[in-house]
Chains A and B, each alone.
Chain A
Amino acid sequence: MLKVESVTKIYGEQEASYLALEDIAIDIADGEFLCLLGPSGCGKTTLLNILAGFESVTRGRVTLDRRDIRGPGQDRVMFFQDAGSALFPWLTVEENVNFGLKLRRTPKAERGPIIDRYLTMVGLDTHRGKFPTQLSGGMRQRLQIARALAIEPEILLMDEPFAALDALTRRRMHSFLVDIWQQTQKTIVFVTHDISESILLADRIAIMGVGPGSRFEDVIRVELPRPRDPGDAAFGEIYRSIERQLALEESKLGDEAG
């Protein structure tokens, strides 16, 4: 279990400091799909970076299976929005997946089958010799997924991974991600500012308020059966209630600016 206990994050020092997160707490169960939803600049990436171990907390603690998170670890893998810069452009599709296996000293004989399995899973097995520049945006995201899954992490941390994709590709990536999640039982923390996306994917949605001092305004459980349909009445109801909540947040932002 990934446990976030009253985490506060302050960037910088003294006058130049910025209170990004204030008193954030949540328990993320093994195998859970959690979405972090909130307006731009509210601190979603900050929280994800803390979970990944890239950023330290100012107060509070984050533990994975009761052990403090002190830095990045192979039990957690981060997905970046910009797959183009996260991938290694000088390595082929196959070599990108192999990168982590080599570092983990996976015996050579085992690497081939692992690479095969995950490239097939993401539908890139016929493109193994290509370089990332020769792939489409959706293919690059799938390669990022294969590369991460190959080292068999317990937790996937995803920062708006599909934000730059067109609607159609995005929909495909959604059902693809849900499939993988159901097959592999990973814990997923998924950042988005798209309400539909969060309802489509999540077991729970944590709604974050505007900063400074952003916190969880609400954590709602989505009980809809999968696969979910945005045309569904229940779906629309959840959508509207989240929308109201976010509008409330936006108006706070307006008051401050005005």
Chain B
Amino acid sequence: MTTTSTAGRGAGRPGPAIAPARSVVERLRPLLMVLASLAIFFVLWQFLSTFVLNPYLIPPPTAVAAAFVPMAETGEIFKHVSISLVRVVIGFVLGSALAIVLGVVMGRMRVVYELLDPIIEFMRYLSPTAMIPIAVIWFGIGENSKYFLIFWGTFFFVLINTIAGVMRTPIARQRAAECLGASEFQIFILVVIPSAVPYIVTGMRVAMASSFMSIIPAEMLAADSGLGYLLQTAGMLVQTDRIFVALATISLLGFITDRLFRLLVDRTLRRYMAFVSAG
């Protein structure tokens, strides 16, 4: 182990094989780039709104922040955030749960799939926004119509992904389990559902993002609280600074929720998320 090889650094050197530590700069690079991106964006925005564009139409960041402070002090913004968030979460959980159950059945039982798929193929084009009028008639302008609309938006994304995941479970994996002694039911529970998890989770992530999009029109048209309502009233009063506060809040909320969801998946379902490539 004391060769003086010239075939590259470290060749023949004794000791445990450890990947060389990446330099601090290298490791912090992604974070630094995000910060740089945001800094450039805000500086440019501030400059353009103040000196080039009409600051009333596009309020600079400082004005938006100034509008935010009283909204935070009175708790107004947090109230709207929590109301919207609860609506999204309830509709999302209900929609996902029902979609997973139905998707798993549809993916596995051919008759059920054949009977329901044509209907779903048509209904999936009805966005939650298109369903607002009927939702209000059915459920009133209270919480239930919001749950329903988010449910509607979530359901189809998760359903279609769940069906795909179940159907794409490799036949070799199912047969292997069968050879090892698994019954039809055991194959379903122990092989098919775990194999579908990555698809289901992907569907849920897309649905989550779309829920944050569909809650806004729902609250604009049929609610007296929530971020969409805030947006709507600010718009009626032409308070551009408050509109920008609401828009920034919506982005941030969607972003944070998606990160939390990913973290949760990583904590609980990590081992199911690996796609095995061929070979």
Contacts and interface: CB of A to CB of B under 8 A. Distances in A.
Interface of A: 52, 54, 72, 74, 76-78, 80, 82-91, 99-100, 103-104, 131-133, 137, 140, 144, 147-148, 151, 153, 164
A195 B275 CA distance: 34
A132 B276 contact: yes
B259 to A, nearest CB: 23
Contacts of B190: 99
A137 B277 CA distance: 10
> Looking at chain B's contact residues, is the secondary structure mostly helix, strand, loop, or mixed?
helix
B29 interface: no
Given A90-B271, A100-B181, A131-B271, A84 B194 contact: no
Interface in B175-225: 175-182, 186, 190-191, 194, 197
Contacts of A140: 279
A94 B101 CA distance: 31
Interface string B258-279: 0000000000000110111111
B170 interface: yes
B172 interface: yes
Interface in B133-190: 170, 172-173, 175-182, 186, 190
A99 B279 CA distance: 21
Contact of A85 (B173, B178, B179, B182): B173
Interface of B: 170, 172-173, 175-182, 186, 190-191, 194, 197, 271-272, 274-279
A82 B278 contact: yes
A137 B279 contact: yes
Query: Which of A86, A131, A137 has the most chain B CB atoms closer than 10 A to its own CB?
Result: A86
> Looking at chain A's contact residues, is the secondary structure mostly helix, strand, loop, or mixed?
mixed
Contacts of A100: 180-181
A104 B182 CA distance: 9
Nearest to A164: B279
Contact of B194 (A72, A88, A137): A88
Nearest to B269: A90
6 contacts: A52-B179, A78-B179, A90-B271, A99-B180, A103-B186, A132-B276
Nearest to B273: A90
A103 B181 contact: yes
A103 B278 CA distance: 26
A174 B173 CA distance: 24
B172 A104 contact: no
Contact of B181 (A74, A86, A90, A144): A74
Contacts of B172: 80, 82, 85-86
Contacts of B180: 74, 77, 99-100, 103, 147-148, 151
Contact of A54 (B175, B271, B274): B175
A82 B177 CA distance: 15
A100 B274 CA distance: 21
A148 B181 contact: no
A85 B276 contact: yes
Contacts of A77: 179-180
Contacts of A132: 276
Contacts of A137: 279
Given A85-B173, A100-B181, A103-B186, A131 B279 contact: no
Nearest to A92: B271
Query: Which of B177, B197, B275, B279 has the most chain A CB atoms closer than 10 A to its own CB?
Result: B279
A31 B69 CA distance: 82
Contacts of A164: 278-279
Contacts of B179: 52, 72, 74, 76-78, 148, 153
A85 B170 contact: yes
A131 B274 contact: yes
A153 B176 CA distance: 13
B177 A99 contact: yes
A80 B279 contact: no
Given A103-B186, A104-B181, A164-B279, A86 B176 contact: yes
A218 B278 CA distance: 33
B133 to A, nearest CB: 44
Contacts of A54: 175
**Which 7 pairs of residues, A with B, have the shortest CB-CB distance?**
A100-B180, A85-B170, A80-B172, A103-B181, A89-B276, A84-B276, A86-B172
A18 to B, nearest CB: 19
A80 B176 contact: yes
Nearest to A75: B179
B173 A86 contact: yes
Nearest to A54: B175
Query: Which of B181, B186, B274 has the most chain A CB atoms closer than 10 A to its own CB?
Result: B181
